[in-house]
């Protein structure tokens, strides 16, 4: 199942050339991921209350086009892999006006306790884990 998140580009997110600085795309991915988790009733604070963190352990990103101040973007997010220990999230950022793909990206995550020790989320919280599995299987 694909999750759609939209946002406008702010002036402070651009560089001297007037385009969005490449580092901001990673923030956009995290922002979309947070809204996605909220949309499936799994906000980050729920994880933290259960002593769980979900660090990024890998990131790949391919820049295909650029965006500038005032552009509106669509971020398409999809959970592509989940096994209770790790998950992978795929993204496409699209310029809403032109329809051009701006970037494609993927983030890899693991589940840890508060001491950053990897855990099997399925064993730690089966109820929340099932939400990820159901989301993954609803494609």
Residue 90 is part of a domain; what is its CATH number? 3.10.129.10
User: Looking at the domain assignment, is residue 122 inside a domain?
Assistant: yes
Angle at 59 between CA 26 and CA 131, to 5 degrees: 90
CB 44 within 8 A of CB 31: no
User: Looking at the domain assignment, is residue 136 inside a domain?
Assistant: no
- Please identify every residue annotated as catalytic: 15
Q: What is the pLDDT of residue 71?
A: 97
User: Looking at the domain assignment, is residue 82 inside a domain?
Assistant: yes
**From the CB of residue 109, how many other CB atoms can be counted at a distance below 10 Å?**
19
**Domain count within the chain:** 1
User: Looking at the domain assignment, is residue 133 inside a domain?
Assistant: no
User: Looking at the domain assignment, is residue 45 inside a domain?
Assistant: yes
Sign of CA dihedral 58, 128, 32, 93: positive
pTM, 2 dp: 0.93
* Cα–Cα dist 130/121, whole Å: 10
- Digit-coded pLDDT (tens) for 86-107: 999 999 999 999 999 999 999 9
Low-confidence ranges of the chain (pLDDT < 70): 139
Domain of 78, in residue numbers:
2-127
Tokens of 14: 């651009």
User: Looking at the domain assignment, is residue 107 inside a domain?
Assistant: yes
User: Looking at the domain assignment, is residue 64 inside a domain?
Assistant: yes
Torsion of CA 10, 90, 52, 128, to 10 degrees: 120
């Amino acid at each position: 199942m694909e999750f759609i998140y939209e946002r406008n580009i702010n002036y402070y997110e651009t560089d001297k050339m007037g385009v969005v600085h490449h580092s901001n795309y990673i923030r956009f991915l995290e922002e979309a991921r947070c809204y996605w988790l909220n949309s499936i009733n799994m906000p980050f604070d729920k994880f933290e209350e259960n002593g769980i963190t979900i660090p990024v352990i890998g990131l790949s990103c391919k820049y295909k086009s650029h965006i500038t101040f005032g552009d509106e973007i669509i971020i398409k997010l999809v959970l592509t892999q989940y096994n209770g220990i790790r998950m992978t999230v795929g993204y496409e950022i699209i310029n809403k006006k032109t329809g051009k793909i701006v970037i494609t990206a993927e983030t890899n995550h693991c589940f840890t306790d508060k001491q950053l020790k990897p855990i099997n989320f399925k064993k730690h919280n089966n109820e929340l884990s099932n939400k990820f599995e159901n989301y993954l299987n609803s494609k």
